[in-house]
Amino acid sequence: MTSIPAQRSSAPSSLTQAGASHSGCCPSCGSNRVTALAMTLTDGTPVRFSSCHECEHRTWTHEGDELQFADVIARATKTKV
């Protein structure tokens, strides 16, 4: 029988609530209807992903700095050996 791996943290990994982003609102439209969650990219980089429910603006931040989408994709792509 296969067991389900334990989660790394006891805190919920996803929050769907007003003000869930770092700034409390979307940097694009100002809405406070934001979903934010912590994740680890394939290369091990811990990031916080935020998505606005109003305008669908998405951001990934690492240590307080916003990552460019191309950088997120590069860090999340598995290298074939």
Short-list 65, 16, 67, 9, CA closest to 37: 16
Give the separation between CA 16 and CA 36, rounded to whole angstroms.
7
From the centroid of its chain, how far is CA 11? 15
| Helical ranges in the chain per DSSP H | 69-76
Give the separation between CA 36 and CA 13, rounded to whole angstroms.
9
User: Looking at residue 59, what is its pLDDT?
Assistant: 94
Digits of tens for pLDDT over the chain (81 positions)?
A: 555 555 454 444 444 444 443 446 898 999 999 999 999 999 999 999 999 999 999 999 999 999 999 999 999 998 887
Rg of the chain (C-alpha set): 15
The residue ranges of every structural domain in the chain are 20-76
